Amino acid sequence: MKQPASQVAISDIGRARLDPAAAIEFVSAPGFGGVSVFVGRVRDHNHGRAVTGVSYDLFDALALQRFAEIVREVEAEFGPALRLYVDHARGRLAVGDLAVLVAAGTPHRDEAFRACRALIEAVKHRAPIWKQEHYADGDSAWSEGCSLCHPDDPAADVDRPPRPAHTHAH
Amino acid sequence: MKQPASQVAISDIGRARLDPAAAIEFVSAPGFGGVSVFVGRVRDHNHGRAVTGVSYDLFDALALQRFAEIVREVEAEFGPALRLYVDHARGRLAVGDLAVLVAAGTPHRDEAFRACRALIEAVKHRAPIWKQEHYADGDSAWSEGCSLCHPDDPAADVDRPPRPAHTHAH
Amino acid sequence: MRVELALFGAFRQFDPGARIELELVNDARVADLRLAFAGYAAAHWPGFSPGLLARSAFASEREVLRESEPIPADRRVAVLPPVSGG
Amino acid sequence: MRVELALFGAFRQFDPGARIELELVNDARVADLRLAFAGYAAAHWPGFSPGLLARSAFASEREVLRESEPIPADRRVAVLPPVSGG
């Protein structure tokens, strides 16, 4: 292909917005009939509490490494006829703001849906990104999430998470 | 909800383009964290032949009925916290033009992906829409597709389609 | 009775107006329309494939009709070849 | 050796600069850093939860480190609580 088949980015919310039209354009190609896009937005509530905003913290260098790794894995599974796009917001977002945007373009739609889903699942579970929710009552809390510890690493407590792994909706 | 939770449309390509940003906006709501979008575009080849464009023919009244039926079914399965959007192009499209656009917004991403996928599968298999491909050599052909006959209806030949039902990629 | 049959998709190529009229008995059902249409097509359209009609449905503006159903009161029906949207 | 530890997510709230320094033995491994960090946090941060650290990983800018790995040559490590992107 003439241009890179994937693009990964972190967008500082103070300077740029996530742009679904740009994602669709990027993953398109004359031979591709299907584009699947996922947009994650800040919700106005979580676990029954009114949310006014969310701050996203990222370990930028490692996050971009992980995005690139994830893209290579999805390419290995669904490529080579595949274009991918990943963008995650950083900073304080208001309700309705776009937090994450992923897209996959492929010749047919089944691969597009599956590749897009694989992208967002991996970004959510494996990238060094943390979400702090701000509540209507002025309180705030960092969300619980997925441990990045190597699962076979004995020193870490990942065998005994406070709740069953990945059954929480995040 | 204050406004309708779904929108279905047919867009005459001579007058309007399918607009993914409008679809995302429509299916969004303050309580929704996930939006899944699918865009179908005209490819530059099919079954090994170079394609220069596609003409879409629709039986408008029945197509809008079917879109509305499909939306109600998807709402029954994934709702009520759900907003849906369906738009299909009509007319002669060039390679890269958007042929179909569906979107689903929900509180969490799993339902968004599944509802979006259910929408596009139903639109492709059950709506009265026909695709005529125009080839680089000047020839053109109507695509073979899915019979709309009631499967239990004895007079129609749907038990003996020329190829196994739904194994063709369309 | 006279039934107006609208043509879609691959059927369009056989008739510039994409619309034909067929004369049926007064209590005709969809199955009768199918037979009459097959006869019309065989008589008027060189290159017409009966296989396409066998996989095609008849519909009003509101729904796909079953073979045993009567012709709709407004006598307007569409013949729908297998669909290929998206 | 002196290791610079960058704090992310929930760990940020304990230190305004989100960065602490820890003194370790010269051939220290990630497991030693974990112990030293646990001691530092217990001594300096009221309300610190050892459970959070148990589920946290240590990483360089390029990868998550295993407990048995040596501290990276540039002595810069990040401690990563469970992630919650998207």
CA nearest to A110, candidates B148, B120, B44, B24: B120
Query: Per-residue pLDDT for B120 more than 80?
Result: yes
Cβ contact A162–D59 (<8 Å): no
Residues D55-72: tens digit of each pLDDT: 999 999 999 999 999 999
Q: What dihedral do alpha carbons C22, C26, C32, C36 form, nearest 10°? A: -20
Query: What residues of chain C lie within 8 A of the CB of B122, using their CB?
Result: none
Longest dimension (CA), chain A: 52
| Token pair recorded at residue B144 | 């073979």
The pLDDT value recorded for residue D49 is 86
Query: What residues of chain B lie within 8 A of the CB of C57, using their CB?
Result: 147-150, 156
Question: Does the interface predicted TM-score (ipTM) exceed 0.90?
Answer: yes
Q: Is D76 near chain A, with CB under 8 Å?
A: no
Q: What dihedral do alpha carbons B118, B123, B124, B126 form, nearest 10°? A: 110
Q: Given pLDDT bands bounded at 50, 70 and 90, which one contains residue B153?
A: confident
* Mutation for D interface: A55, A157, A167, most D CBs within 10 A: A157
Query: Per-residue pLDDT for B170 more than 60?
Result: no
Residues B12-40: tens digit of each pLDDT: 998 889 999 999 999 999 999 999 999 99
* B87, B23 contact by CB (below 8 A): yes
Q: Is A24 near chain B, with CB under 8 Å?
A: yes
Restricting to A residues 97-116, those with a Cβ less than 8 Å away from any Cβ of B are: 107-109, 112-113, 116
Rounded Cα gap, residues C13 and C18, in angstroms? 8
What size, in residues, is chain D?
A: 86
Chain B CA closest to residue C9: B130
Determine the average pLDDT of the residues in A3-12: 91
Cβ contact A40–B33 (<8 Å): yes
Query: What residues of chain A lie within 8 A of the CB of B21, using their CB?
Result: 20-21
Query: Per-residue pLDDT for A158 more than 50?
Result: no
Q: Parallel, antiparallel, or unpaired for β A34-41 and A98-106? A: antiparallel
Residues C44-68: tens digit of each pLDDT: 999 898 999 999 999 999 999 999 9
C and D touch with 3+ CB pairs <8 Å, answer no
